[in-house]
Amino acid sequence: MKPAPFDYARPTSVAEACQVLADAGGGATVIAGGQTLMPLLNLRMSQPFILVDINGIAGLKGVSRADGAIRIGPATRQADALKDATLAQHLPALVTALGHVGHYQTRNRGTVGGSVALGEPAAEMPAAAVALGATIEITSVRGTRSVKAEEFYLGPYMTVLEPDELVTGISYPEWPEGHTVLFREVAQRTGDFALVGMVGALALEAGAIARAGIGWFGMGPTPIRARQAERALVGKALGEIDVQAVAELAVADTAPFDDHHASAEYRRTVGRRIFARTLRETLDIRSAA
């Protein structure tokens, strides 16, 4: 099929983009990478009056570090973020998750902000934003506001983003040097959305866990933070952690559902197992270090 007719705008500044969105009265759609949007347009599942291409806005690209946070421009290509030295050093959990997003070809075009803003509940980037405590910067002609990633997602493909608003930055608080990455996902094929997945990080201090951030994807209508498991881990010495008990707490925070790919019970069972295995392997490695 072919897309329905639409107008096209390619603004060169955030202010111009926001004005186009405001003038469209809810009839505009933003495009950056287009890896999800283009198929929707071709199937006429999305029929905007105007397509707003933000690729010409230089300020929406790149990675910067300041004031204890790392900021990623939403139009930054996933492939570029995957190779970024700052992210590799300070946010390795994000880089690990990025390596599992789609395929090599799609990462060359797909953007970090596009994935975060879309809100696919089985995708890696929204879950990483939630797990790592990211803040999402949102701009419109009415001004700029910041929303915690945990509060950004309302349901499958539903976010707090208003039709006239644009994601203009994603900021991740820095994690201490030497922190440990947690990541595992189960998918039918490489590059598919996960049936079950987890992503996060642990920071140690004096042999105990000082900070934990863990998120689930594919385990509910939105990315989900494993708050109970985080609380159970923080303050504990490595040798006194009951891995299975923490895994039970982690799964207790999820809300999986049945679909044509897997049942809710399958997701709970697999989630419990991959969480326990990943945590146990991580603790064994750190204990031996």
Domains (ranges, CATH) in the chain?
7-53 (3.30.43.10), 58-173 (3.30.465.10), 180-288 (3.30.390.50)
Looking at residue 190, its pLDDT comes to 87
Residue 16 in this model has a pLDDT that exceeds 90:
yes
Residue 43's pLDDT is what?
85
Average pLDDT over residues 245-255: 98
DSSP per-residue codes, the chain: --PPP-EEE--SSHHHHHHHHHHTTT-EEEESS-TTHHHHHHTTS---SEEEE-TT-GGGS-EEEETTEEEE-TT-BHHHHHT-HHHHHH-HHHHHHHTTSS-HHHHTT-BHHHHHHH--TT-HHHHHHHHTT-EEEEEETTEEEEEEHHHHEEETTEES--TT-EEEEEEEE---TT-EEEEEEE-SSTTSPPSEEEEEEEEEETTEEEEEEEEEESSSSS-EE-HHHHHHHTT-BGGG--HHHHHHHHHHT------SS--HHHHHHHHHHHHHHHHHHHHHHHHH-
What pLDDT shows up at residue 51? 95
Mean pLDDT of the region 205-222: 96
- Residue 289, pLDDT > 70, answer no
Kindly state the percentage of the chain with pLDDT values over 90: 88
Provide the percentage of residues in the chain whose pLDDT is more than 70.
99
Q: pLDDT at position 214, please?
A: 98
Read off the pLDDT of each residue in 100-127 and give the average, rounded to a whole number. 96
The mean pLDDT value for 273-277 works out to: 98
Averaged pLDDT for residues 25-37: 93
For the chain, the average pLDDT equals 95
Would you say residue 255 has pLDDT above 90?
yes
Q: How confident is the model at residue 165 (pLDDT cuts 50, 70, 90)?
A: very high
Which pLDDT score, from 0 to 100, does residue 68 have? 92
pLDDT of 287 reads 75
Prediction pTM value: 0.95
Mean pLDDT along residues 131-137: 98
